[in-house]
Amino acid sequence: MTTHDLIRDLREVSPAKIVMLVADGLGGLPLTPDGKTELETADTPNLNECARVGTLGLSTPVLPGVTPGSGPGHLGLFGYDPLEFQIGRGILEALGIHFAVTGRDVCVRGNFCTLDAGGKITDRRAGRPTTERCVATVNKLRTIKLTGAEVFVEPVKEHRFVLVLRGDGLGDRVNDTDPQAVGVPPLKAEGADPASQKTAALVNEFITKANEVLKADAPTNGATLRGFAKQPAIPTMQDVYGLKSAAIAVYPMYKGLARLVGMDILDAGDTLQSQIDRLKATWNDYDFFFLHYKYTDSTGEDGNFAEKVKKIEALDAVIPAIRALNPACLLVTGDHSTPSKMKSHSWHPVPTVIVSDLCRPDGASEFGERQCRTGGLGHLPAKHLMLLAMAHAGRFGKYGA
């Protein structure tokens, strides 16, 4: 029996609500062996209270030592084995801008770039154009027609756009055309199988026409593509857990991930406070809320230890408002660690706390890596957290007689 089939058997109809608060890249590292991590340094009275009444643990996103991108990191949290369900970047980008992806689509992330007279890349991000310029450039590309596929070009922001080819029998095993270097031309697309060769031919034709359309538009006179992807077959949260689920996320990628597993995407505004306001306003409409907080990751990526500490403290400040709604289960965790020491995502396990009336408290007094290490949830794969959330919300029946 698969875990999802087990969940379908165990789940019960219940009004109990679950809140999953994901602080992106939450886990960290101390700057010296005897020092504290960002989370341990932060003044977090409300998360510490969660630790006191709840149960702690360390969550491993994929496998020990494996650093996840946002896709596998979040799929794991939602209870989907990230080695079984794989999502390409193009799909994430398309979902993130609310593009209605179909099963006939190949999606790909595009970057505007600057080409010199010889067709070589001089700036991989086209001087980071304004989003207005991005929209204008995309509008020019929308004039391009191809034989054998519909073409959709959608702006994201700055130098980024999404290209979608919709047609029958299109494969997604196509190489990135972004050479990840300047001084060389973009790569030709090639397909690894007949269906993908069909896609590659369309892509190469698109790029030739794009170069023509944009030839007078330096610095946005070229484009590279990466992350060709079709939509994976993935069951919804409703199907697996019986949870009517909503995402309250500010950034497009996380909205896209949530949409992929069937969540409704709510208007989250731009701030943590507007996210909390939305949570309150829609509290009676859903069983499961995914709240995503980006800034613990972005400050970590910047290598800014002090700023990551502040962003954690800002998150801590909204915990009482969430708990005041009295969710049957509140789970606070991250999709991976982003130690400011490393300025990148990492494999280190992620501090996690579950708060529920059904918790077995573990004597912890602070929410930090050290206390999570010896917490009552142990060290566990992220994909098992939803099992615990369902159980602590009282939404699971007994397995077997």
CB of 214 to a copy of itself, least distance (A): 26
- Nearest distance in Å: CB 96, a copy of itself: 11
Residue 200 is which amino acid? A
Phi, psi of 265 (to 5 degrees): -100, 115
Task: State the nearest-atom distance from the C-beta of 338 to a copy of itself, in Å.
Answer: 11
3-class state of residue 363 by DSSP:
coil
Name which of 53 and 201 has its Cβ closer to a copy of itself: 53
Minimum distance from residue 292 beta carbon to a copy of itself (Å): 16
Q: In whole angstroms, how close is the CB of 253 to a copy of itself at the nearest point? A: 8
| Shortest Å, Cβ 67 to a copy of itself | 5
Structure tokens at 258: 């949530």
3-class secondary structure, 305: helix
DSSP code for 115: E
Q: How many residues does the chain have?
A: 401
d(C-alpha 216, C-alpha 274), whole Å: 42
In angstroms, the CA 83 to CA 233 distance is 14
| CB contact at 8 A, 347 and 66 | yes
Nearer to a copy of itself, 3 or 211 (CB): 3
**What count of Cα atoms within 13 Å lies in the side-chain half-sphere of residue 342?**
16
Binding site for a copy of itself (CB under 8 A): 1, 3, 6, 10, 29-30, 33-34, 37, 52-53, 58, 62-73, 82-83, 86-89, 92, 227, 339, 342, 344-349, 358-363, 369-370, 373-380, 384, 387-392, 396-401
**Strands, E assignment, 274-368:** 288-293, 329-333, 350-355
Query: 352 — phi, psi (to 5°)?
Result: -145, 140
Find all residues with CB under 8 Å of 165, minimum gap 6, and list them: 105, 106, 108, 146, 149, 150, 151, 152, 199, 202, 203, 206
Using CB atoms within 10 A of its CB, is residue 252 exposed (0-12), middle (13-18) or buried (19+)? buried
Q: Which is nearer to a copy of itself, 194 or 400 (CB)?
A: 400
CB-wise, 112 or 241, nearer to a copy of itself? Answer: 241
Q: What is the DSSP letter of 85?
A: S
Which is closer to a copy of itself, CB of 149 or CB of 372? 372
Name the residue nearer to a copy of itself (CB basis): 58 or 210. Answer: 58
C-beta closer to a copy of itself: residue 73 or 129: 73
As a whole number of Å, the CA-based R_g of the chain is 22
Nearer to a copy of itself, 37 or 275 (CB): 37
Please state the closest distance from residue 61 (CB atom) to a copy of itself, in A.
9
Task: Kindly state the smallest distance separating residue 399's Cβ from a copy of itself, in Å.
Answer: 5
